[in-house]
Chain A
Amino acid sequence: MGEMQELSTFWFVTFGAVKVVAVFTVVMAVVAYMTLAERRVSAFIQDRLGPNRVGPFGLLQPIADGIKNIIKEETMPGTAAKFYFVLGPALAIMPAVVTFAVIPFAAPLPTPVGTVDMIVADVPIGILYILALSSLAVYGIVLSGWASNNKYAFLGGLRASAQMISYEVALGLSVIAVLLLAGNVTLTEMVWKQQQLGLWFVFPLSLAFIFFLISALAETNRLPFDMPEAESELITGYHTEYSAMKFSMFFIAEYAHVVTASALMATLFFGGWDIPFWPGDDMFRHEGAWIRGFDESGAPIPTSPSVLITLLTLAAFSAKTGFFLLLYIWIRWTLPRFRYDQVMHLGWKVLLPAALAYIMLIAGTMLVLDQLGVAYGMLYGLVLTAVSGVTTLAFLFFVDRDRVISGAHRKRTTRASAARPAAGPAGRTTSS
């Protein structure tokens, strides 16, 4: 049973095409319903009802929005650089959609003609592909901001480039901790390594997860890091001049980014399609056969893919991704926005050095564990969990209480006590 039947080229191409279409369709559908979920959830958080007129519970609202956006008039600013103005939304949407290709979304599916990997493209470079392509998203935003010939759009584009480049660093460094522990860059193998460790990477790499979460929020330009849009300062930033479907494409791009980032967090830190506390779904391609793990003597334990496991793992992956999608919305409607200088401060002066130090710590701990001959398994993970837990608490304690990002009141206190000991007519100096 453990023997593996390879797909012939014909079936490989056929299933590949089917997977491309299916994944693209599902991602687009999730994106459409994210817009509805965002509006409904935000409404519930604010004790409103949200759109509930179109269809039952407003479920047809995304379709109505789509029709509306397609039949609306396209406006083109007279002074815009027309070619780049049109190119911008296309460049923004492309990287957001293609990054999902390397994320495994279920255990392999057995078919009569062979086993099909539930991943669009299991490329060997895995996470590097994601990092490379998600960085390209900034081009669409900068280009559209610049081509609009509008100072607000331009400022939005500039901020987007600064912010995305800054947080790309922290994002990459937090992923490096995962790479150290997984020992590989393909996402299928990362899932397998988490199954082998018996612990999801969120526990042994808790601080890396926090860094990744913060950076992913910044990378997707979501609140509290929505500097490129900044409705209160820049109208809507880079897409101020866009209308109709071009405007809609920026939103599709943003939500597709959110979906990809959520799926990535689920894969890197929450075991991907792994079902917790059940080794029966563990599955990996090892020397031409499907194995579930290794027994005491190191001999592989064979397993065989089944349709049921594929469906269950797909459900597990969807649940994890769905949780992060909800978390994105939840954070957006809870936290206030950062100021621009606070965003830069957090990115360069806190996350970058902290992530570097954390990598050193994790690498050192792993070196010690390897030297001591601790096998890659539960004990290995627990030691790392303890080290990471202490570091995480220390980091959170360090960041907390005005030490890194202070509110406006501290600035007022220092300025008032230094420059104006006697308060002016406002008389609002803090007495402390």
Chain B
Amino acid sequence: MAISVKVMRRPEAGRTSYMRATLKGMSLTFRHMIRPTKVTLEYPEEQPELSPRWRGTHRMEVHADGRPKCVACGLCPTVCPANCIRLVGGEDDQGNRYPIVYEIDEFRCIFCGMCQEVCPVEAIHVGQHFENAEYGRERFVYDLDRLMEQDHPVTLLWDPSDPRSE
């Protein structure tokens, strides 16, 4: 939406009727008083509609057997501009890599979504979620278990109705 500037025409001196202006103002406020134009979203009861591109707190996708999809390739900590992902990778008997430690500091995160873009196996996602209140700072470093527990919808990173974001 373009920004519009409303130019107020100042009346010439001696041409303003203060009585009329007062009465007009009073009638305007009275109309709003008896029929307020409702613009407030009553948040806890009504939830806002999030954009499909909304980038919120993270979520780790899991396989059907409960293992994380992450293969500990190390791309997301490399690409992360805020350096908020800590990854220690390991390898099992069959030679499959998996994350031993995977932590995201949500305080440092800037929610750019590059971790999701770069992930080759679509494991880490940013989510459509914003209610993150906690009682302590330490609770904001999400470990692997916590990331896997999240069940909010994940972000598309693009708008299906406007794929080129035009």
Contact = CB atoms under 8 A, between A and B. Distances in A.
A286 interface: no
A399 B34 CA distance: 30
B17 interface: yes
Interface string B87-119: 000000000000000000000000000000000
Contacts of B26: 330-331, 334
A409 B22 contact: no
Contacts of B34: 44
Contacts of B18: 399-402, 405
B70 to A, nearest CB: 43
B14 A410 contact: yes
A413 B22 contact: no
Nearest to B10: A409
Interface in B12-59: 12-20, 22, 25-26, 28-30, 32-34, 36-40, 42
A333 interface: yes
Contact of A402 (B16, B33, B39, B40): B16
Contacts of A406: 13
B13 A330 contact: no
Contacts of A430: 10, 12-13
A405 B33 CA distance: 28
Nearest to A410: B13
Contact of A334 (B15, B20, B25, B40): B25
Nearest to B35: A44
B26 to A, nearest CB: 5
A335 interface: yes
A400 B10 CA distance: 17
Nearest to B32: A45
A413 B13 contact: yes
Interface in A8-55: 41, 43-49
B39 A47 contact: yes
A79 interface: no
A249 B37 CA distance: 34
Contacts of A44: 32-34, 36
B38 A47 contact: yes
B36 A47 contact: yes
Given A49-B42, A334-B29, A396-B19, A432 B36 contact: no
Contact of A333 (B10, B13, B19, B29): B29
A377 interface: no
A401 B17 contact: yes
A353 interface: no
A396 B36 CA distance: 31
A335 B38 contact: no
A47 B26 CA distance: 15
B33 A335 contact: no
A336 to B, nearest CB: 9
Interface in A126-179: none
A5 to B, nearest CB: 47
A43 B10 CA distance: 28
A432 B13 CA distance: 8
A276 interface: no
A64 B5 CA distance: 42
A401 B33 contact: no
A197 to B, nearest CB: 28
B85 to A, nearest CB: 39
Contacts of A48: 36, 40
Contacts of B33: 41, 44-45, 330
A430 B16 CA distance: 15
A407 interface: yes
A423 to B, nearest CB: 15
B73 to A, nearest CB: 49
The 10 closest A-B pairs by CB, nearest first: A410-B13, A334-B29, A44-B36, A432-B12, A45-B29, A400-B19, A402-B14, A47-B37, A334-B25, A44-B33
Interface of B: 10-20, 22, 25-26, 28-30, 32-34, 36-40, 42
19 contacts: A45-B33, A47-B37, A47-B39, A333-B29, A334-B22, A334-B28, A335-B22, A335-B25, A399-B19, A400-B18, A400-B20, A401-B14, A401-B16, A402-B14, A405-B18, A406-B13, A409-B11, A413-B13, A430-B12
